[in-house]
Chain A
């Protein structure tokens, strides 16, 4: 011990000094005592740096030389911290094979702006992120808090690393470990697997030729008795769907979209004329001058998270963007430091159609819409006028209710100008002379047509232009009425509409998860139509569809990964009764034949909606349209995510007779797969293969590549592969004798065949497809390989791919993907990757769709609508304000996500989610700041602490999503008799979905779902609150 230290120890022992300390600071006193007895802490690695990580490289600031640290490597892959799926660069310790930290990939636009051109050597791209020439700040590429905290998943004590079979009752939390091979054998062959009686294995339902229900042949084959679900495409869905759709041939696939943002996506899809994939728009943050964010909050959350946050913060500094956030709660988007350029306007949950219609009314009244643009009736005229998009605003809709084509566009064939089945049967418009002419024959047409037209058959029908129909709706409700509905003042509405008019083409309206209300579809449609009215779609500074991705899993330049010999085609009716007209069912025909009214249907048949997980599982349990025999869930947790589902079906999931076989593939036990019969341990972040794209917030085309940059830590198969989603489906398909997997399963462009026995057999060939799209990528240099940690991947590439593909594939992985160059984001005033379809002021598919519950046509454009139940009745008719005076809503956390609560580095920052209660409500109800409150809904109750604030809409309570877990490490599980203890902090807080409830207007099992889309309603749940 040196002299100074001894002196102190003496000093520390002086009673007076210690007493002074003890007054308010007992902890250091303890430390002093420890020091005196010599029991001090662990000596850090370095006296000043402490236990800081060794730098990954050293940069000579004079020359720019980069010397890598031989004990570390840096590799590019995908982050699973949220569904943005950013490209990241990850530091790994070579000695311990542990992941140290993550930063962004400088080539990846989701992490960097502007992203490095992929022709730049990897070393140079990395050098730009350092202190060399002071360029690191501008060229920085980042990983967020969640992404970095997610590293702990790899070594989490709650991670599942062995194949598990339940050793108790369903959901009891008792498991035994079994081999992968035993697991495959049991789920294929079935038998008395749990001593509870016979269970059909997958072999028994692998029957693609026999109808599952002879009475209702349209339901499809017996293979539909398998439901395969996953959270979302984390870059691996291509293998999953190769199994589910094409090899096994089940119709029943589902993902989390219907309890995430489907109501928004469908509203956007209706506007964009894409109800198949439900494309959507995001603002061009870089060039927009006014943003209206409704139920979405860039930089608080949303997608792409970092990119939006980065561009928003830049716009604040450059003072290029003024924005208003309309949301029941104040959030991070409304930054104080942005001053008056950022404003928050509170709104009543679920009332967004009123907001949208009021804003449209004001735009119509003040001529704030882009009249010249809206008058353009076709793509060629738009091009001639220099407009980057066009709409059907002037197309004429048949409005006579008694006409068989009511709700459809008046077309040439209606006037005898074309045969009825003509492919180019153009919609009609009214030209400036008042003549009704085909839309493709004029440059401009009348905006607000209301006319009577004589048809070829001599009958006459009423027609109105799409824009006229929209204007009629907007003008049918006084401004004050709409203001009263949504709780936004007339002055605020006028202010917003004025801004939209003022900024026009560079004003962008953005919405997302806030649309998950009982009127969500029409809310999103209304708000998205504002973008059409101001004419901003595909416009620089307006709304962007985004650049899209390089899809390597299709029929590519090197390999056909889309199809294979003997591929099945899913057929029949989805469990969720989506995309199938009720009128074509045997049931409908039977009812008609019996002279009974077929309406309302026994349960909603949502013709426009994609297959929705929100009704797949309830339908399967209920047996309508049909029961199923097996379910495979991959990283999927609807019980946590769907409002009211747990209350409705948890007990039924416990009963193996209702759903006989449930196999989960996951790294963790969640609220849903806790009911599984088997769990297949999956690779987690950084251990997986795959290719991910970007959502609409990125303007350039891109695909991020991911590969196992660290060795997966779970069990291996008998032939040495890591047990994972891929090895599971490959083995399962081979054991079932299905086509598309195993030897000779993949065909190359020359007709040669290749095996699909390992994950890399698929993904490396997908990489070759991407690398050879358009102009093939060049070879990676030795330096590129060294600086991207690719040495470990090269043997796999060499073992799998022919020589000519290896260099370009290595180039792809050395940049962590493939990316269009930054300059392709724009093309003059237009965006570089435009959305090409005709935008729908009136959507014909919507306007001609019969609602199976009411028997009436849906309305084909936006309109004011209160939140409704399945039968179309208003929610408030069932749950009145007298009993349920308040409305609960959820909002995304800026730190947690729905599956991240197990991460201690996030819990240490945000350990809990107190409930937002408005100041006035709290005063009225006697609720103090920080006090415990009881929240009751028609379906559940929860207790939490109140944050009393002015930052929430009066009459509404806000619940931050991602807390209130019962699994993911929250409770004990017993594996092979050993208890893996739960952590009570993981269970902290509340989950809004525990307030969900059954739809009382349904005859079958179902939670409250938005009528058109089937999306789970979590915005605007009727509740009452009280002090405890």
Chain B
């Protein structure tokens, strides 16, 4: 099974443990431990993304759009939508839960200090990026990220991850995942601008917003709206099948794991 796949399932396991989500409001601002100074980007801005799960239809438009926009290797993802079948702890009713995943552009990014060459750094606008000219592909950052948001790009042999499509933001355009989101689940914007859509939504829904694994102290800047409390208390998720069988039912393994 492909590494990226295993990682996504790993995330699921942590989900099942039940400690992964707490309301944003209760997260204390994490101390920045040994974070090198931020550089580049617009110091006036702090980009963040709000994902309104009520709007996500799990269509993977974001996944494929991002993949084309950013030339990601096949089978590796800067963003993907994980799909879970869940049952309600009170009623037993079944439903489908979608979780769009990407780099959380943390305020205290654990991937940054571990980089021995300072290739991974945080811009002043909050976006965590990798300088591919510095990166040696050691994958310390890949291991350090609790969200499995990083991978080694087979072609460039460097660490790769979501950049919030900073190249598009700088051109006044929306990230590929945002502009292609069918339901409009992804809202990106500048938290420093109180008039931005995201600032207004954060203000309106502050008590309901959740982040992934807040106990890690990373202060993620991807906020989820519509994470059901009952889901946090007792998520009921089964691992999906990632084995692949061919025409004669032979095991084929994941096609894109050989990169």
- Mark A residues whose CB is within 8 Å of B: 2, 4-5, 7-9, 11-12, 21, 25, 27-28, 31-32, 34-35, 40-44, 46-61, 100-101, 103-104, 129-132, 134, 136-138, 140, 142-145, 147-149, 151, 299, 306, 309-310, 312-314, 316-317, 330-339, 342-344, 894-895, 904-909, 911-912, 914, 929-930, 932, 943-945, 947-951, 966, 970, 984-985, 987-989
Structural contact, A932 and B247, CB atoms closer than 8 A: no
B54 contacts which of A31, A316, A907 (Cβ < 8 Å)?
Answer: A316
* Bound complex: CA A950 to CA B57 (Å): 21
Known contacts A28-B142, A309-B57, A336-B95; 6 additional CB pairs below 8 A are: A34-B157, A42-B155, A55-B171, A136-B173, A148-B68, A949-B238
B20 CB-CB contact with A under 8 Å: no
Nearest A-chain residue to B98, judged by Cβ: A335
Structural contact, A908 and B256, CB atoms closer than 8 A: yes
What is the interface of chain B mostly: helix, strand, loop, or mixed?
A: loop
- Evaluate whether A330 and B71 lie within 8 angstroms (CB atoms) in the complex, with A51-B156, A309-B57 already known: no
A11 contacts which of B116, B130, B249 (Cβ < 8 Å)?
Answer: B116
B169 CB-CB contact with A under 8 Å: yes
**Contacts of B226 on A, CB cut-off 8 Å?**
337
Structural contact, A905 and B64, CB atoms closer than 8 A: yes
Structural contact, A101 and B68, CB atoms closer than 8 A: yes
Structural contact, B238 and A31, CB atoms closer than 8 A: no
Structural contact, B243 and A908, CB atoms closer than 8 A: no
* Bound complex: CA A662 to CA B132 (Å): 54
B97 CB-CB contact with A under 8 Å: yes
A33: shortest Cβ distance to chain B, in Å? 10
Within 8 A of A (CB), among B203-259: 226-228, 231, 238-247, 249-250, 252, 254-256
Structural contact, A148 and B94, CB atoms closer than 8 A: no
- Evaluate whether A943 and B181 lie within 8 angstroms (CB atoms) in the complex, with A52-B71, A136-B174 already known: no
**Contacts of B182 on A, CB cut-off 8 Å?**
142, 144, 306, 309-310, 313
- Evaluate whether A950 and B137 lie within 8 angstroms (CB atoms) in the complex, with A144-B61, A145-B61, A148-B68 already known: no
Structural contact, A299 and B59, CB atoms closer than 8 A: yes
Structural contact, A907 and B60, CB atoms closer than 8 A: no
**Contacts of A7 on B, CB cut-off 8 Å?**
116-117
- Evaluate whether A145 and B238 lie within 8 angstroms (CB atoms) in the complex, with A12-B138, A53-B69 already known: no
A952: shortest Cβ distance to chain B, in Å? 9
10 A–B pairs (Cβ distance < 8 Å), ordered by A:
A35-B136, A101-B65, A138-B184, A145-B59, A317-B55, A343-B93, A951-B85, A951-B94, A984-B247, A988-B244
A5 contacts which of B52, B117, B132, B244 (Cβ < 8 Å)?
Answer: B117
* Bound complex: CA A966 to CA B242 (Å): 21
Nearest B-chain residue to A344, judged by Cβ: B94
Nearest A-chain residue to B133, judged by Cβ: A47
* Bound complex: CA A645 to CA B130 (Å): 54
- Evaluate whether A8 and B94 lie within 8 angstroms (CB atoms) in the complex, with A57-B171, A909-B60, A944-B245 already known: no
**Contacts of A103 on B, CB cut-off 8 Å?**
65, 179-180
- Evaluate whether A316 and B55 lie within 8 angstroms (CB atoms) in the complex, with A55-B168, A330-B85 already known: yes
B24 CB-CB contact with A under 8 Å: no
B32 CB-CB contact with A under 8 Å: no
A613: shortest Cβ distance to chain B, in Å? 26
**Contacts of B106 on A, CB cut-off 8 Å?**
none
Within 8 A of A (CB), among B57-99: 57-61, 63-65, 67-71, 74-75, 80, 83, 85-87, 93-98
Structural contact, A911 and B255, CB atoms closer than 8 A: yes
Structural contact, A59 and B134, CB atoms closer than 8 A: no
B252 contacts which of A41, A48, A142, A984 (Cβ < 8 Å)?
Answer: A984
* Bound complex: CA A136 to CA B168 (Å): 13
Nearest B-chain residue to A915, judged by Cβ: B241
**Contacts of B181 on A, CB cut-off 8 Å?**
140, 142
**Contacts of B67 on A, CB cut-off 8 Å?**
905
* Bound complex: CA A332 to CA B239 (Å): 17
* Bound complex: CA A28 to CA B40 (Å): 28
Structural contact, A12 and B136, CB atoms closer than 8 A: yes
A907 contacts which of B158, B231, B250, B255 (Cβ < 8 Å)?
Answer: B255
